[in-house]
Amino acid sequence: MHGGLDAGELRALGLAPEQVLDFSANINPLGPSQRVRHAVAGADLASYPDRESLALREALAGRLGVGAENLLVGNGSTELIHLLARSRLGPGDTCLIFTPTFGEYEAAALAAGAEVRRFPATEAEGFRWPIAAAGRAIEDLRPALVFLCNPNNPTGIYLDRHVVERLSAALGPEALLVLDDAYAALADRRWDALPLLDLGNVAILRSMTKDHALAGVRLGYLAAQPGVVAGAGALQPAWSVNAVAQAAGLGALEDAAHVEAAREVIREARAYLHGELEGLGLAVTPSAANFLLVRVGDAAGLRADLLGRGMAVRDCASFGLPEHIRIAIRKRAECALLIEALKEVLPP
């Protein structure tokens, strides 16, 4: 149910991972910055890591203008999604999820014993949620937790601040709106969600695995009111965030220019790829994020054909979209190779 290369599948195809261009995971196309590589090389491998990730939390707090008590660092934001679900949901609670979206929200809510309700966006409406109806759904269902991914994976739809504020107001003060910001740092027209913490019922999830290309290291953080942070933190296993990850995070924070450079690469390559895909007669959902959702018909078949040519794309069947693929934006020259491969495999 996730992007990224599958070692077993590649082995069965006789492919080594380095022979595949991975468009299936939405990672900074420039890879990790030199500062991160340097910081990681200096990590203390022999000692236990700081259980509280104190240095990283303080560095984050300074950059973000929040208190260290507002932050919980996790082994990827996936861990934090599960900790939030376990700390805020139980049997008898409802979790509302704006779909189609990242699958871990539902997995976490179900694992916590909650009932999951979905608020779907349809292709006919350009994958935009009808917001007035969403507010009414929140008022009717009274969920304890709402997951909203912004920009949304896999559609690339990016809601404005005032829309999120409306949803927060509909939810009421006791429940929690979890805004997953994972792709905001790589997005166009990005806006800072952190001031939304003042609304009281909003928590923000950030993944450092996308914008800083640390997917293999695993690093993310939750920014929320201290009570929400403490509730999730109490359930976190000791030493969850290892020393290499903490060092990588500190290095990454020193290199904002690296993410800025990636945004430029993405903006240009996305425009190119979008145009070329439409030129091939494919319907592409306009995206603010570092990936494109594309209607192709038989997504599983197309994915298999492309993988045979050393190009991995995400088949969106697990999002409930079996006729779509999701393509991560890589450097323009790599996107050009994907277009060439698509020309070979698409029916004339």
- Which residue ranges make up the site for ligand PLP (CB under 6 A)? 76-78, 102, 149, 153, 180, 182, 207, 209, 215, 220
Supply the DSSP symbol for 18.
G
Q: Could you tell me the smallest distance in angstroms from the CB atom of residue 54 to ligand PLP?
A: 20
From residue 270, alpha-carbon distances to 152, 298, 329 in Å are 16, 23, 6
From the list 276, 309, 310, 315, the residue with the least C-alpha distance to 295 is 315
Q: Could you tell me the smallest distance in angstroms from the CB atom of residue 42 to ligand PLP?
A: 23
Q: Could you tell me the smallest distance in angstroms from the CB atom of residue 266 to ligand PLP?
A: 15
Q: Could you tell me the smallest distance in angstroms from the CB atom of residue 180 to ligand PLP?
A: 5
Give the tokens for residue 20: 């595949």
Q: Could you tell me the smallest distance in angstroms from the CB atom of residue 105 to ligand PLP?
A: 8
Tokens 């290892």 sit at which residue? Answer: 242
Q: Could you tell me the smallest distance in angstroms from the CB atom of residue 139 to ligand PLP?
A: 25
Q: Which residue is nearest to ligand PLP (CB)?
A: 76
- Say how many C-beta atoms besides its own lie within 10 A of residue 42's C-beta: 9
Pair 305, 325: CB distance under 8 Å: no
Residue with smaller CB distance to ligand PLP, 93 or 147: 147
Residue with smaller CB distance to ligand PLP, 180 or 315: 180
Q: Could you tell me the smallest distance in angstroms from the CB atom of residue 314 to ligand PLP?
A: 10
Residue with smaller CB distance to ligand PLP, 231 or 249: 249
Q: Would you call 335 helix, strand, or coil by DSSP?
A: helix
Pair 218, 209: CB distance under 8 Å: yes
Give the tokens for residue 33: 């910055």
Q: Could you tell me the smallest distance in angstroms from the CB atom of residue 46 to ligand PLP?
A: 26
Outline where DSSP puts E strands in 18-108.
21-22, 71-74, 94-99
Residue with smaller CB distance to ligand PLP, 6 or 305: 6
Residue with smaller CB distance to ligand PLP, 34 or 318: 318
Pair 182, 288: CB distance under 8 Å: no
Residue with smaller CB distance to ligand PLP, 10 or 107: 107
Q: Would you call 15 helix, strand, or coil by DSSP?
A: coil
From residue 337, alpha-carbon distances to 3, 330, 331, 345 in Å are 19, 10, 10, 13
Residue with smaller CB distance to ligand PLP, 76 or 249: 76
DSSP sequence for 269-307: HHHHHHHHHHHTT-EEE--SSSEEEEE-S-HHHHHHHHH
Residue with smaller CB distance to ligand PLP, 215 or 342: 215
